[in-house]
Chains A and B, each alone.
Chain A
Amino acid sequence: MTAMLTAYVLVWPVLVLGILITIARGFAKDVKEARKEGRQVI
């Protein structure tokens, strides 16, 4: 039970890290495309 609760607590920051990387990569792509097209990212 202790091992399961430990995994239960620590799985969330791992998922958050995955989303953080996804969003950062998506943003970098948006900036790159905007520069290529000569416009602002937003």
Chain B
Amino acid sequence: MPPAPTGEIHQLGIIGVILLLLLFYGGTMWMSVAISRKKENADDYMTAGNHIGFGVSAASMTATWIWASSMYASVTAGYTYGVSGPIHYGLWGALMILFIYPFGKRIRKVAPKAHTLAEVMYARHGRSSQLMLAGSNVLGSVISLTSNFIAGGAIIAMLSPLSFGSGIVIIAGGVLLYTLWSGFRASVLTDFAQVIAMLGAAVVIIPAVFFVVGGPQMFADGVAAGHVTPQQESFFSSEAFMNQGAPYIAAVLAYAIGNQTIAQRLFAVREDLIKPTFITATVGYGATVIGIGMIGVMALYLGIEPAGGDVNNLLPQMVGTYLPVALVALAFIMIIGSLSSTADSDLSALSSIVMTDIYGQSVGRKNVNPKFMLLIGRITMIVATAAALFFATARFNILDLLVFVGALWGCLVFPVIASFYWKKVTNKAFTVSVIVALAVFLPVRFTLIPLTGAWAFFVEALAILGVGVVLGIMAFGFFGLRPALIIGAVATIAVLPFGFGYLRDYETLTGSLVAYSVSFLVCYLMSVKSSQNFDFSVIKRITGDFDEEDAPAVEDTAAGENPPRGDVPAAPGH
């Protein structure tokens, strides 16, 4: 039997927390200083020269994708939905990385030296498409940054006498310090140390909690005590699938396309290593997040009540209640590592977007001053940190904001992916489809118009089509157009019999599906008759290095096909 919890949480104390933070941020600062250069290169500041190796890139992709919120959310899913809960959180999150990989290969092929996806959209379409994508990226990264600061402040406040306010300032200051000078290079290198700390802690903490709370006997006792429902005991819980899994499947591609932190690593890794990097990150993310979610499952079987009624407290509560102080310190480092690695990636992503999509494109590549560009990147990091600190103290509802951004990204997925394969997609089709999709999504997701009568029928028809669009896009990445059309059509037909009268009860899922289907319909109908025949080689000529002082002389221009910077042809629609 597990030791009876005393209700007390083992705290680390002010000195303990400060020592751990000094060790963590001192270590990452030391790594950052070790690779810093007196004169940083602007392109390396954003993409580390486009040729990082497998170990560094796999570590970075894994560390970036695992953020503190994903650990908390997986534990919450395990506690709420039982044994299948963490799967319906972590598996789909992991597949986000896997499903973006075939598209990532295509993106690198047409734009080998780009810095941001928005920059590629500029080359493909023009300014309005670029700004839509860049705007959604900025919004997403600021929200993610805020969420990580909140998670850091909360864990420090729970495990030490320090206040939430002091916690967020320490976290923000620590992350900013080691990322500011070398940007993405520092972010990627420190990700390695952070992922080792995170994964190492997960390897120890999950079995430690399991055996300390009673091991296998806990399951029989939990059922006997009536702590779990039949749905929570089932690996095939429909409740878990409809409320947790299905909305996540719909979001699989949206988060990967809309998140600049992923795009940045896609442009940074050596092109031949994209596949092993993405596969390793998929398994690493899935195993870690699902594994941590098991702590929520254990809390459910044990009949634990979350401290203060807040399920977000479950992870530190379980660790702090059952484990000795040394393992509480390890868990603390795991959570600080997860939030810091994502926060530094968000800072690097934000600086790249402002450097490339705001400054770089507004003055024109010929007129870019790399030194000033670097200064802009560093100022962006400082401003973003200040903004995230403000939002964190103002206690905005992060989940609501994340849902909004997720849907915004859902509106972008089809137009963005189609733009990399279909020559007919125009700037107008891209822009209008995203705006119309957003206009339909908002009243559905927030039930601004009650989902009844003809409106509900119309929305459900769109959502059913959305199922086909999502599965079709996923299949397209791996198998090509024909199988994608078949899978999309079959999926749509399969959902038809039970979709009507049913999907209206799941507005989160239906809203996301509507975002996909409307953007698909509008983008397709506006493009199919267009006479545009886009030449994809234009993208390679328009995107590229800004800072060529330290760049290899004729890399990628060996054939002499790339015109000198500033003499590139204008993107269509400019």
Give A residues with C-beta under 8 Å from B: 1-3, 5-6, 8-10, 12-13, 15-20, 22-31, 33-34, 40-42
**B206–A13 CB distance below 8 A:** yes
Q: Is the pair A23, B59 in contact by a Cβ cutoff of 8 Å?
A: yes
- CB-defined A-B contacts under 8 Å, sample of 22: A3-B216, A6-B215, A9-B206, A12-B202, A12-B288, A12-B294, A13-B202, A13-B203, A16-B202, A17-B199, A19-B283, A19-B284, A23-B58, A23-B199, A24-B55, A25-B55, A26-B55, A26-B56, A28-B55, A29-B53, A29-B55, A42-B56
Q: Which residues of B contact A16 (CB under 8 A)?
A: 199, 202-203, 284, 287-288, 291
Closest to A33 in B: B53
Chain A's closest residue to B206 (CB) is A13
B189 at interface, CB cutoff 8 A: yes
Q: Quick check: A42 and B206 within 8 Å, CB to CB?
A: no
* Chain A residues with CB below 8 A from B283, complex form: 15, 18-19
B426 within 8 A of A: no
Report Cα–Cα, A42/B215, bound state, in Å: 43
* Residue B437 lies at the interface, judged by CB distance under 8 Å to chain A: no
Cα A33 to Cα B54 with chains together (Å)? 11
Query: B56 — nearest CB in chain A belongs to which residue?
Result: A30
Alpha-carbon distance A16/B291, docked complex (angstroms):
8
Q: Are A42 and B219 in contact, with the CB atoms below 8 A?
A: no
Please measure, in the bound complex, the distance between the C-alpha atom of A2 and the C-alpha atom of B219, giving whole angstroms.
6
Bound form: Cα–Cα A16–B568 in Å: 47
Q: Which of B83, B189, B203, B207 contacts A8 (CB 8 A)?
A: B83
User: In the bound complex, what is the Cα–Cα distance between A13 and B206 (angstroms)?
Assistant: 7
Known pairs A19-B62, A20-B196; A9 contacts B280 (CB<8 A): no
Contact A27:B55 (CB < 8 A) given known A5-B83, A16-B287: yes
Across-interface contacts of A25 in B (CB, < 8 A): 55
Task: For the complex formed, measure the closest distance between the CB of B180 and the CB atoms of chain A, giving whole angstroms.
Answer: 16
Which residues of the partner chain A approach B280 to less than 8 Å between Cβ atoms? 19, 22-23, 26
Q: A8 vs B202: C-alpha distance in the bound complex, in angstroms?
A: 15
B256 lies within 8 A of chain A by Cβ:
no
Q: When A and B form their complex, which 10 residue pairs have the shortest distance between CB atoms, in order from nearest?
A: A26-B55, A12-B291, A27-B55, A30-B53, A15-B287, A19-B284, A20-B199, A30-B55, A26-B54, A6-B216
Interface string of B38-64 (1 = CB under 8 A from A): 000000000010001111101100100
Chain A minimum-CB-distance residue to B223 = A1
Residues of A within 8 Å of B558, CB to CB, are: none
Whether B188 and A23, one on each chain, are in contact in the complex, defined by CB atoms closer than 8 angstroms, is: no
> Which chain B residues border A31 with CB–CB below 8 Å?
55
A20-B203, A24-B196, A42-B188 known; 8 new pairs, CB 8 Å cut-off, are: A5-B216, A9-B297, A10-B206, A10-B210, A16-B202, A23-B192, A26-B58, A29-B54
Determine the residue in chain A with the shortest Cβ distance to B189.
A42
Q: Are B59 and A10 in contact (CB under 8 A)?
A: no
B454 contacts chain A at the CB level, 8 A cutoff: no
B195 proximal to A (CB < 8 A): yes
Interface status of B4 (Cβ within 8 A of chain A) = no
Closest Cβ of chain B: how far from A17's Cβ, in Å? 5
CB-CB nearest in chain A for B276: A26
Contact of B56 with A41 in the complex, beta carbons under 8 Å: yes
Minimum C-beta distance from B360 to chain A (A): 22
CB distance from B555 to the nearest CB of A (A): 15
Kindly list chain B residues whose C-beta atoms are within 8 Å of the C-beta of A29.
53-55
Find B62's partner among A5, A10, A23 (CB 8 Å cutoff): A23
